[in-house]
């Protein structure tokens, strides 16, 4: 399954009152693992950046002056997302801006069925606990030392790691089967399931170690739990 984990930076909190996007960062995730393919763009918002917003992301009017407008990058963004599911933290905020800009440029908007909100996921999984991106990085031991200020691509990369943990951790994509490789003759096999070992590996415990262990258990008494395992082993040998 292909998903796009993304984040945005803006001039403020509400596009309906004149705030605009200034940055979009996207990370491609396939079967819950980042592929290394990213989409990142700075956007000229067509207005000044308030000090409060600059203090958050550090993107100044001067820096954004020569950057493209949203209409200039919209098609590239849509092409990168394609038919993938979108994943965002506090998704209503980011999607509010994305859909506002898409509608303003005459393009179709995304429905809520296309979006996963990791904030809601975190609140369900860890009720009552802090659910900010920083808090989740701390909870899951994800290094966020580079996050001096908010940045859309960096935050999307961190969120992709958080999303992996929220959806089952680093074992979520473990597949206990082996894909057959193409042979030199060009023949390709199917998926080969791993089979149990037909013969158990020999024990590395020596006879002297076994006798020493039995002698030690004898000093504990008949109620020693080790007696259960010894008896099971004797029964298995005589079976």
Query: How many structural domains comprise the chain?
Result: 2
d(CA 231, CA 161): 48
Specify if 187 maps to a domain: no
Q: Which of 19-33, 78-92, 158-172, 180-194 has the lowest mean pLDDT?
A: 180-194
Average pLDDT over residues 174-190: 40
The boundaries of the domain holding residue 219 are 207-238
C-alpha 22/C-alpha 56 separation (Å) is: 12
Average pLDDT value for residue range 58-63? 96
Tens-digit pLDDT profile for residues 127-166:
999 999 999 999 999 998 877 678 999 999 999 999 999 9
Supply the pLDDT for residue 52. 96
* 3-state SS assignment for residue 157: helix
Report, as an integer, the average pLDDT of 206-232: 73
How far is Cα 4 from Cα 156, in angstroms, rounded to an integer? 9
Is 223 part of a structural domain of the chain? yes
Is residue 188 one of the residues assigned to a domain? no
Inside any domain, residue 22? yes
Instruction: Indicate if 33 and 139 belong to the same structural domain.
Output: yes
In a domain, 194, yes or no: no
Is 26 domain-assigned?
yes
Look at residues 171, 197, 224 and tell me which one is the last residue of a structural domain: 171
CATH number at residue 155: 3.30.420.10
pLDDT at 117 over 60: yes
Q: Do residues 136 and 45 share a domain?
A: yes
Q: Just list the catalytic residues.
A: 150
pLDDT at residue 104 in the model: 96
- Cα 124 from Cα 118, distance rounded (Å): 10
Mean pLDDT in residue range 118-123: 97
Residue 180 lies in a domain: no
Strand partners, 194: none
Instruction: Note the pLDDT of residue 206.
Output: 78
Q: Which pLDDT tens digit goes with each residue over 3-46?
A: 999 999 999 999 999 999 999 999 999 998 899 999 999 999 99
- Domain end, chosen from 171, 195, 223, is at 171
Rounding to the nearest 10 degrees, give the CA dihedral for residues 131, 134, 135, 137.
Answer: 110
| Model confidence at 172: pLDDT above 70 | no
What pLDDT does residue 211 have? 80
Alpha helix stretches (DSSP H) within the chain: 51-57, 61-64, 70-81, 91-104, 118-125, 133-139, 152-166, 207-220, 226-238
Question: What is the structure's pLDDT at 234?
Answer: 52
């Amino acid at each position: 399954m292909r998903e796009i984990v993304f984040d945005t930076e803006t001039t403020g909190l509400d596009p309906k009152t004149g705030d605009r996007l200034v940055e979009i960062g996207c990370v491609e995730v396939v079967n819950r693992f980042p592929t290394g393919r990213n989409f990142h763009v700075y956007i000229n918002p067509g207005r000044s950046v308030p000090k409060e917003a600059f203090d958050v992301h550090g993107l100044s009017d001067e820096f954004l002056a020569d950057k493209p407008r949203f209409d200039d990058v919209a098609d590239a963004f849509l092409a990168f997302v394609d038919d993938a599911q979108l994943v965002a933290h506090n998704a209503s905020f980011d999607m509010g801006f994305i859909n506002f800009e898409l509608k303003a440029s005459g393009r179709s908007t995304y429905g809520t069925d296309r979006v996963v909100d990791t904030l809601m996921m975190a609140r369900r999984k860890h009720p009552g606990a802090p659910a900010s991106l920083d808090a989740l990085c701390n909870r899951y031991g994800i290094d966020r030392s580079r996050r001096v200020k908010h940045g859309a691509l960096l935050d999307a990369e961190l969120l992709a790691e958080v999303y992996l943990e929220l959806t089952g951790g680093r074992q979520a994509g473990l597949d206990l089967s082996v894909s057959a490789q193409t042979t030199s003759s060009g023949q390709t096999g199917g998926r080969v399931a791993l089979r149990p070992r037909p013969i158990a590996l020999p024990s590395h415990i020596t006879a002297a170690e076994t006798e020493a262990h039995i002698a030690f258990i004898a000093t504990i008494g008949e109620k020693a739990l080790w007696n259960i395992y010894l008896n099971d082993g004797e029964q298995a040998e005589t079976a």
